[in-house]
Amino acid sequence: DDDCDGRVDEDFDGDGDGYPTCAADVCANCPLPDDPDRCRWLCDNQDCRDENVGVFPAAVDICGDGIDQNCDGQDAPCTEATGRVDHLAIAEANAPRCPDSNRDGEPDNALGLLGALANQPLADAVAGGSLNLFLAASGLGPPGTDGAFALSVLPATRAGEGYTVSPDALDEEGNARIRFAVARARDGALLAGPGRFSLDLPLGGIALRLTLYEAQIQGTVGVDEGLGLTVADGILWGAIRDVDLQAALDGLEADCAAAEDPAEFCGPLAQLRPALGNLLVMDQDLDRDGEVDGYGACLTLSVAPQALAGWPPE
């Protein structure tokens, strides 16, 4: 209350929920036209009812109650749209679609070099059915181009001709372990995150476990009338701590050494590993101490409509 009139910040955040209201329509007329990422942030984080502490952009929108709790302009439909990741690959270094998280003017993908080792095993795992990842959009109905919703990432297993949720995809309360509580679609542009999660990526029968910090998913999203979820030109981005990457590579090397019939990438990995410290350059400061301690990891993905048994859980 700078001018002692009894109002805090002149009603900039009238209900004190941490989300401001703006005098202008910053979605239609962004005050930062040269910075589309910040324009999107301003648009997505406006409080539509700044006098109601229960209504704000990150609120859970209770489906079918007639109230727009999360400020996306509509009450959430009681729908579950699902699709299977049918493409996953490490993007090339400086791929233009990768985010610039550290604001240095360049796309962040310090692990682009590893694509030469990992992308063919990843493609084989997706095509062969040993890697089944699903995205599930809760509260996003057809056509799926606009709205706020929850986005879950669900490992699955084959069940006959279909798929079912893996038991380890859910916690003790039946909620998805990997979940973006607030994802948004605007004119078909998806933005989910930031969040944190771990993925086990099978590479030639060996699992590479990666933990992504500040993770986000982007792409062009849609939902068909059968509640099939599509994501085209998708990006999965996150930061990986150096200590975690080294531990994962140590585990890969140990598994390669112990295998009677090592995977094809084991030989190149053994040759490259001594030089990786010089070839991979850290570009992320995860603990905000002014020193880089991690790598930006950018993966391309696409999602095709596919039903998923066991989701949502009973």
CA distance 169 to 10: 45
CA distance linking residue 257 with residue 255, whole number of Å = 5
Predicted model pTM: 0.85
Tokens of 142: 């057809």
Q: Output the tens digit of pLDDT for each of the chain's 314 residues.
A: 454 545 555 556 666 666 777 766 777 778 777 888 778 777 777 787 777 777 888 888 888 889 888 888 888 899 999 999 999 999 998 898 999 999 899 999 998 988 888 899 899 999 999 999 999 999 999 999 999 999 999 999 999 999 999 999 999 999 999 999 889 999 999 999 999 988 888 777 777 888 999 999 999 999 999 999 999 999 999 999 999 999 988 988 898 899 888 888 888 888 888 888 788 899 999 999 999 999 999 999 999 999 999 999 88
Interval 239-297: pLDDT, tens: 999 999 999 889 888 988 998 888 888 888 888 888 887 888 999 999 999 999 999 99
Pairing outcome for strands 178-186 and 162-165: unpaired
What DSSP assignment string belongs to 77-121? PS-EEEEEEEEEEEPPTT-TTS--TT-SSS---TTGGGHHHHHHH
Which tokens sit at 224?
């068909």
All residues at 6 or more sequence positions from 10 whose CB lies less than 8 Å from its CB, including other chains: none
> 């955040």: which residue's tokens?
13
How many C-beta atoms lie closer than 10 Å to residue 106's C-beta?
14
Q: Is beta strand 206-223 parallel, antiparallel or unpaired with respect to 189-203?
A: antiparallel
Find residue 294's DSSP bridge partners.
Answer: 241, 284
